[in-house]
Amino acid sequence: MTASHEIENRLRATAEKLLREKKVDLFLGYEKASLPFRTTPLLLTAAEEAGRLVWNSFCTVNLAVYLPRLFKAPADAREAKSATPPPKVGIVLKGCDARSVVALIQERQVPRENLVLVGIGCPGVVDAQKAEKTLGEHEALGAGEDAQGSIRAVVEDGTEITLYRQEVLADACLECRSPMPAICDLVLGGPVEAKETDAARRRAAEFESKPPDARWARFQEMISKCIRCNACRQACPMCYCKECLLDQTRPRLIGAGTDISDVTIYHLARALHTAGRCTECGACVRACPMGIDTRLLTRKLSLEAEDLYGYRAGQSADAIPLLSAFAMDDPQDFLTEPSHLPAASSSAQEAEQARRAK
Amino acid sequence: MTEKRISHTDLPRLLARLRERGPVHAPLEDETGDAVLTELSSDDLISLRYRNFRLSPKSFLLPQNQVLFRFQDGKEEEPALPDREMVVFGVRPCDAKAMQALDKVFLDGDQNDPYYARAREKTVVIALACTRPLSSCFCTSVGGGPGDGAGADVLALELDADLLLRALTPGGERLLSSVRDLLCDAAPSAVKEAEDRVRAAEEQIAPVKVDGSAQRLSNAYDSPLWASVSQKCLGCGTCSFLCPTCHCFDITDEVRGGTGRRVRTWDCCAYPLFTLHGSGHNPRPTPKERWRQRIMHKFRYAIENFGRPFCVGCGRCIRSCPVGMDIRTVLKEIGV
Amino acid sequence: MQFEGIMNQTQSVQQAASKQAWEPKIVAFLCNWCSYAGADLAGVSRIQYPCNVRVIRVPCSGRINPAFLLRALQNGADAVLVSGCHPGDCHYISGNLVARRKFALLKALLQYVGIEPERVQFTWVSASEGGRFAAIIEKVVEQVRKLGPNGRLAKRL
Amino acid sequence: MARNPYLPYPARIEEVIVENEAGDIKTFRLVFEDPQSAKEFRYVPGQFAELSLPGMGEAPFGIASSPTEADYLLFSVKRVGLFTTELHSVEPGVRIGIRGPMGRPFPWDRMAGKNLLIIGGGFAFTTLRSAIKYILDPANRSGFGSVLVIYGARTPGEFMYKKELEQWRARDDIAVHLTVDHPDEGWTQHKGVVTTVLEGLKPSAENSLALVCGPPVMIRFALQSLNKLGFADDAIILSLEMRMKCGIGKCGRCNIGSKYVCKDGPVFTREELKALPSEY
């Protein structure tokens, strides 16, 4: 693993060069945020400001979320007339972020030829909420990481507290199987290997081992905290719909408030809409101001996609998206079959069944 | 004004007594260790270790979902409004201050809002002064402070072994006198110590320049900076929904067959649908205009209308922004 | 407009609900070309089956957005049934095959969070299978009757 | 205790009149179910109200009738969105909720004794009808100077209130000029945009106020012409359209600058609008 400050230096030099040589109009990276354990996205256009870029374990935002809006097709002819040509964009990508870019390319939301993808092997990012919880009653006033990757926090009285990395990494990172970007134009730093590969499966199995009533109770308890702020949706690179099904008013699909039934449908429908598209970056979880583990649902769907169809989102830009494709022999043992033979069987029906038997 | 004193060990008795009058909401830790204002039942142990709650207590006055009335066989039926007094214990001064701001909107208009008015009338707010502000706090720059009780009925100040209680409104006086057998007078030295603690807290809070924001923002309306500061905004409503002063709402009908309800629900100016006309026209079509509206509303329009910013410096929007945006930085960049 | 039509129909199912003894309400989304014709055949052949099903005709099972089914359940349906053409018979070549993946995932997810799997059911019924349609409805109604009313996803207004 | 401002007055749709050839503008004549409501609902031309159908929500509409028409309310509604589509589908006899009256009306105290120039375009003529009806009432007419109305529409079939326009044209205490973009056979009046008519007629700005309601493009050009004719910004009165919910200045939706269109408007002078952000 290459130390993060070394990668940071290379990142700044790379961005500076790309901007200076006009290979890109815009470079998407991270800069220091005002609070510890966080960074904030930086949309860089001036080469001389490349020094603002940072790379560390707090670079949590999945920057791919900004791509669809940069390449949004004009809404109408009038807009098309005044539209500027699509920009060339450089972007920093972790393994999961790169999968999002792949999925966006698959879904024709971003043109590959306009992108310069700067990949970084990712050793996982810190979940700020977890880190803050770990400090208990203290508040960090500053945070950083040492060469071993441990997270150091400076609290009110100036004491430095070391946080065990595994304890503060985002859940999605603990479950990550592909920390290396699957697609990129250049890689900064050395390769990173995934530690555990079945963590997600174990977590899903653990939940699944509970009886249905307990699962339902847990699910309801968790989402009862939801305030419908839409942060999970807005932070997701795959939620780029011009008008979200859950927002539409003609007709209104679900109520606007936090009635538990509406919240339930919100989360189920949102998860289903990311099925086969979710690249498991965990942006939704980290965006949630209420600490809801939205990946409870998306994790399961990703596993189903893999088990049923051998499909993992964001693996190949040439692949047909999971739900746009099919195979004749896709499993269908979930279908309802009659428990007895049809009561009145006509000759046409027999012929039909005979045809089917062949 | 005299301060009353009660020991931390007697606090449960006081809360139990208050529960005889009506529901009492106080900070309880949930399974994740977060303090949440929860309705107390007999044996709950309250926690005073929190700095503030994730959600602002505005929902006691302006619930996220409020049934305005019900439809029954084509006729409207008004819901029964609460008639029992409720106590909310442990509200931080910033959030109490925010209630005072909300009063300006819902009580000082030409038409009072009957739902808000009743909730406000029936809610006794006991604020708890801060001794350990967070680095994202900036209440002192927007007219508040860690020991400011404005908006609350009673202010509680923490000492090692005791809690000092100061009634700020007639409602607060009534509340304290209903439990006066549990209280004793606080010694002047105790009051001084509590005030020193608040002062120490005040000194920890870094100032943000907000004075004169209305004037400066009126000059900055056409600034190109709005486009750049709004660039990374995702357009979620986290900041608004957590904000103790944000109060915009939507009204929708939920009906099945002939019965249902008209509900008002929180809404947010960051959403494109907020201003979208039926015709398709949108007066605030991009994040640039919507961000500007948010800042302008809080730091200019509110000052012009109500003489105060609609921001109490609680810092929730800073802590919870999914992309780490900081309203203090934005104000600075825009030249406030 | 199609969508609005579906929603209005779903709501009229609601209105039809009475407050008497509970009877399962099943909303069936049937594809226009096979299953709807199959249901029609069951009717003209005078095959008896329980009257707990309300049919919504859709152009193709591929038209079904999982959100329609959630919406029906939220509005008080005790179960939903989607039926399309048998694989290979789709009027649009592969609408039912694409849909099959969505349905598998929806069913798995609902089961995962603790919804009874019988609340959402999928099947294929061809235009000539009136008997099969009736038998499926019988089975679904019987299962849902055993489960009782849909208490989990229904919204209480 | 004051009435709950969120609770609509129950009313019934007595009559539905299709106003235009395209059929997408209808006028609804409403009568309160309870005479007490009619007494409480006291309005002045220029104000609006929220109409609601149970389950379909609410939407704001300018009141097209005049308080001088005592027994009913008129609302002219163009079919554009969810609520208006639903409203267009209802038949007379249906129960409808009305909340209001809301907003600041036309400045009647300032209009007293003045010559009035009324410029309208297309569907936005509703509250102008209310104003004209009010002015022409025998009890009120002498309180105003001359009244000049210029009303433009795309085609002759698109004018609203056609019968009344004819009646007004026959009177000598009001001048009504109609103009269309696309005349049909038999059209004898003006052709072209309202500004052409306006600049041709050259009404004096002296002791005059202009009421302007119409689509944004028309307003933009009308304002230029009025400028040329010497109308001061505070002599030009406009009415804004904005998305609204509560109608009483709480919900924040119609907020423009430090104003709320629902309670500080919808009627503004041009001078007042110039001081606001152009977010409308």
pLDDT in tens, D225-277: 999 999 999 999 999 888 889 999 999 999 999 999 999 989 999 999 998 98
Write the pLDDT tens digit of every residue in C99-151.
Answer: 999 999 999 999 999 999 999 999 999 999 999 999 999 999 999 999 999 99
Residue D161 and residue D232 share a domain: yes
Residue D117 and residue D71 share a domain: no
For chain B, say whether D142 makes contact (Cβ under 8 Å).
no
**At D126, which CATH number?**
3.40.50.80
Residue D127 and residue D96 share a domain: no
Q: Looking at the partner chain, which of C97, C116, C135 has a beta carbon nearest the beta carbon of A330?
A: C97
Q: Which residues of A touch D82 (CB under 8 A)?
A: 249-250
Q: Which residues of A touch D81 (CB under 8 A)?
A: 250
Residue D81 and residue D124 share a domain: no
Rounded Cα distance between C126 and C85, Å, is 6
ipTM value of the model?
0.92
Distance from CA of D43 to the nearest CA of B (A): 16
Tokens 């020094």 found at: A51
Which of the residues A230, A266, A294 would you substitute to probe the B interface, choosing the one with the greatest number of B C-beta atoms within 10 Å?
A: A230
Q: Which residues of B touch C14 (CB under 8 A)?
A: 256-257
Residue D117 and residue D43 share a domain: no
Q: Looking at the partner chain, which of B54, B271, B329 has a beta carbon nearest the beta carbon of A34?
A: B329
* pTM of this structure: 0.92
Closest CA relative to residue C28, chosen from C3, C50, C55 = C55
DSSP letters, D26-77, are: EEEEEEESSHHHHHH----TT-EEEEEETTTEEEEEE--S-TTSTT-EEEEE
Write the pLDDT tens digit of every residue in B54-63.
Answer: 999 999 999 9
SS3 B87: strand
Q: Which residues of C touch A351 (CB under 8 A)?
A: 128
Tokens read off for A260: 């538990």
Question: 3-class secondary structure for D10-26?
Answer: EEEEEEEEECCCCCCEE
Q: In the prediction, which pLDDT does C5 show?
A: 45
Contact assignment for B241 to A289 by CB distance below 8 Å: yes
For chain D, the domain total comes to: 2
Which of the residues D246, D263, D274 would you substitute to probe the B interface, choosing the one with the greatest number of B C-beta atoms within 10 Å?
A: D246
Contact assignment for B267 to D251 by CB distance below 8 Å: yes
Q: In the prediction, which pLDDT does A190 show?
A: 86
Which of the residues B51, B136, B208, B236 would you substitute to probe the A interface, choosing the one with the greatest number of A C-beta atoms within 10 Å?
A: B236
Contact in structure between B195 and B147 (CB atoms under 8 Å): yes
Which residues between 92 and 131 in chain C have a beta carbon less than 8 angstroms from any beta carbon of chain A? 94, 97-98, 100-117, 121-124, 126, 128-131
The full set of domain ranges for chain B reads 4-204, 213-333
Residue D123 and residue D210 share a domain: yes
Domain that holds residue D85: 9-100
Q: In the prediction, which pLDDT does C29 show?
A: 98
CA C57 to chain CA centroid, nearest Å: 10
Integer distance in angstroms from the first to the last C-alpha of chain A? 58
Q: In the prediction, which pLDDT does B20 show?
A: 92
Write the pLDDT tens digit of every residue in B169-228.
Answer: 999 999 999 999 999 999 999 999 999 999 999 999 999 988 888 888 888 899 999 999
Closest CA relative to residue D20, chosen from D194, D120, D162 = D162
Look at residues D51, D67, D100 and tell me which one is the last residue of a structural domain: D100
Rounded Cα distance between C18 and D184, Å, is 56
Q: In the prediction, which pLDDT does A354 show?
A: 56
Residue B249 parent element (H or E) = strand B249-256
**B94 versus C1: which is more confidently predicted?**
B94
The answer, yes or no, to whether residue C12 has pLDDT greater than 60, is no
Q: In the prediction, which pLDDT does C6 show?
A: 45
Q: Which residues of A touch C138 (CB under 8 A)?
A: 338-339
What is the residue-level pLDDT of chain A in tens, covering all 358 positions?
567 888 999 999 999 999 999 999 999 999 999 999 999 999 999 999 999 999 999 999 999 999 999 998 877 777 788 888 899 999 999 999 999 999 999 999 999 999 999 999 999 999 999 999 999 889 999 999 988 889 999 999 999 999 999 999 999 999 999 999 989 999 998 888 877 789 999 999 999 999 999 999 999 999 999 999 999 999 999 999 988 999 988 788 899 999 999 999 999 999 999 999 999 999 999 999 999 999 999 999 999 999 999 999 999 999 999 999 999 999 999 999 998 776 544 555 555 555 565 5
Contact in structure between B303 and A267 (CB atoms under 8 Å): no
Residue D115 and residue D42 share a domain: no
Q: What's domain C2-14+24-147's architecture? A: 3-Layer(aba) Sandwich (3.40)
Q: Which residues of D touch B283 (CB under 8 A)?
A: 242, 256, 279-280
Give the mean pLDDT of D142-151: 94
The full set of domain ranges for chain A reads 4-127+169-323, 128-168
Size of interface A-D (CB pairs under 8 A): 3
Contact in structure between D252 and B269 (CB atoms under 8 Å): yes
Task: Give Cα separations from B53 to B15, B91, B156, B197 (angstroms).
Answer: 20, 9, 17, 21
Q: Which residues of C touch B260 (CB under 8 A)?
A: 157
Q: Looking at the partner chain, which of B250, B254, B324 has a beta carbon nearest the beta carbon of A33?
A: B324
Tokens read off for D225: 């012409």
Please state, rounded to an integer, the average pLDDT across all residues of chain D.
92
Q: Looking at the partner chain, which of B54, B250, B252 has a beta carbon nearest the beta carbon of A289?
A: B54
Per-residue pLDDT band for B108 (boundaries 50, 70, 90) equals: confident
Chains touching B by CB (3 or more pairs below 8 Å): A, C, D
Distance from CA of A251 to the nearest CA of D (A): 8
The full set of domain ranges for chain C reads 2-14+24-147
Q: Looking at the partner chain, which of B33, B65, B236 has a beta carbon nearest the beta carbon of A229?
A: B236
Per-residue pLDDT band for D14 (boundaries 50, 70, 90) equals: very high
Tokens 């505070």 found at: D234
Residue C63 bridge partners (DSSP): none
Backbone angle region of B195, left / alpha / beta, with phi > 0 → left and psi within -120 to 50 → alpha: alpha
Closest CA relative to residue B327, chosen from B151, B141, B130, B198 = B141
Residue of D nearest to A249 (CA): D82
Answer whether residue D252 is part of any domain: no
b/e per residue D123-162 (b: at least 16 CB within 10 A): bbbbbbbbbbbbbbeeeeeeebbebbbbbbbeebebbbbe
Q: Which residues of B touch C75 (CB under 8 A)?
A: 256
Task: Give Cα separations from A236 to A65, A274, A314 (angstroms).
Answer: 6, 9, 14
The answer, yes or no, to whether residue C11 has pLDDT greater than 70, is no
Give the mean pLDDT of B315-322: 96
Rounded Cα distance between D148 and D135, Å, is 12
Tokens read off for A107: 């879904």
Residue of C nearest to B69 (CA): C157
Contact in structure between D56 and D83 (CB atoms under 8 Å): yes
Give the mean pLDDT of D161-185: 92
What single letter denotes the amino acid at residue B256?
A: R
Write the pLDDT tens digit of every residue in B43-81.
Answer: 788 989 899 999 999 999 999 999 999 988 778 888 889
Q: Which residues of B touch C15 (CB under 8 A)?
A: 256-258
- Count Cα atoms within 13 angstroms, Cβ side, for B29: 11
Contact assignment for B257 to C17 by CB distance below 8 Å: yes
Contact assignment for D251 to B304 by CB distance below 8 Å: no
Q: Which residues of D touch B284 (CB under 8 A)?
A: 279
Per 3-state DSSP, what percentage of chain C is helix, strand, and coil (rounded to 5)? Answer: 50, 15, 35
Write the pLDDT tens digit of every residue in B203-215.
Answer: 999 999 888 888 8
For chain A, say whether C147 makes contact (Cβ under 8 Å).
no
Which of the residues B111, B120, B275 would you substitute to probe the D interface, choosing the one with the greatest number of D C-beta atoms within 10 Å?
A: B111
Write the pLDDT tens digit of every residue in B117-158.
Answer: 999 999 999 999 999 999 999 999 999 999 999 999 999 999
Tokens 């503030």 found at: B52
Residue D132 and residue D94 share a domain: no
Size of interface B-C (CB pairs under 8 A): 17
Q: In the prediction, which pLDDT does C4 show?
A: 44
Contact in structure between B243 and D246 (CB atoms under 8 Å): no
| Residues near D6 by beta carbon (within 8 Å), at least 6 away in sequence | B68, B69, B114, B115, B251, B262, D99, D246
Rounded Cα distance between C98 and D62, Å, is 49
Residue D151 and residue D234 share a domain: yes
